[in-house]
Amino acid sequence: MSKLILARHHESEWNKEGKWTGLRDRHLDQYGFKKSEDMGLLIEDIPIDCAFASMLVRSIETLSCMLNVCKRYEIPTEHSAALNERDYGDYTGKNKWEMEKLLGETEWQKLRRGWNCPMPGGETLKMVYERAVPYFLDKILPKVKEGKNVLVVAHGNSLRALVKYIENVSDEGIEEIEFPFGAVVIYELDGEGHMLKKEVRETKSEVPA
């Protein structure tokens, strides 16, 4: 059966500094490049037929590393802003741990992981879902249904949005889900894009995010 593979971009320059990056474009750092290659090796045994990534450079660089390390140089690839990270609005560039002290742990965790918690000048996870999932259903799922193995490299929150749909996670349950750095999640899906089978492969990663 064909497979959908989800992967999160690895460590960027701002991840290393503990900053909310959102739609700000920041490159991978040296560690991020190396671990992206390690992520590629995790799926070396799976022939990739096509790939998708966001419009942000850290996602594109991660995808390139994953494909290049496996010597897959001519994979059709599509980029879309629908897969971009959550817009952190006024909090873009702020240090997460300083914001935790300012907001308090409960409010900070709700802001980071909640389903529909307002972000000043930015997006909620619900808003990310409303752009990422229609794109998944329109562009990505048809490829999987054609029998193709599809790799998607995106961001913590756009991937959480996809996981919410694929795994039928409740609005409350999504608060407990984080898509880790260094992991690839391999799904087999039904015709509606919901999970039939799931496998997680990981390379050990230490990212201050």
The reply, when asked if residue 72 is annotated as ligand binding, is no
Annotated catalytic residue: which of 61, 85, 123, 175? Answer: 85
The reply, when asked if residue 88 is annotated as ligand binding, is yes
163 by DSSP, 3-state: which? helix
The reply, when asked if residue 13 is annotated as ligand binding, is yes
Token pair 């999987």 is at which residue? Answer: 144
**What span, in angstroms and rounded, lies between the C-alpha atoms of 121 and 50?**
35
Q: How far is CA 204 from CA 8, 65, 102, 158, 181, in A?
A: 14, 17, 31, 22, 9
Q: Are strands 4-8 and 150-154 parallel, antiparallel or unpaired?
A: parallel
How does DSSP assign 95-121, residue by residue? BHHHHHHHH-HHHHHHHHH-SS---TT
For the question of residue 27 being annotated catalytic, the response is no
The reply, when asked if residue 167 is annotated as ligand binding, is no
The reply, when asked if residue 8 is annotated as ligand binding, is yes
The reply, when asked if residue 113 is annotated as ligand binding, is yes
The reply, when asked if residue 79 is annotated as ligand binding, is no
For the question of residue 85 being annotated catalytic, the response is yes
The reply, when asked if residue 92 is annotated as ligand binding, is no
The reply, when asked if residue 84 is annotated as ligand binding, is no
Any idea of the CA torsion for 108, 109, 112, 116, to the nearest 10 degrees? Answer: -100
**What span, in angstroms and rounded, lies between the C-alpha atoms of 162 and 180?**
14
The reply, when asked if residue 9 is annotated as ligand binding, is yes
List the binding residues: 8-15, 21-22, 58, 85-88, 96, 112-113, 156-157
* Active site positions, annotated: 9, 85
List the binding residues for substrate: 8-15, 21-22, 58, 85-88, 96, 112-113, 156-157
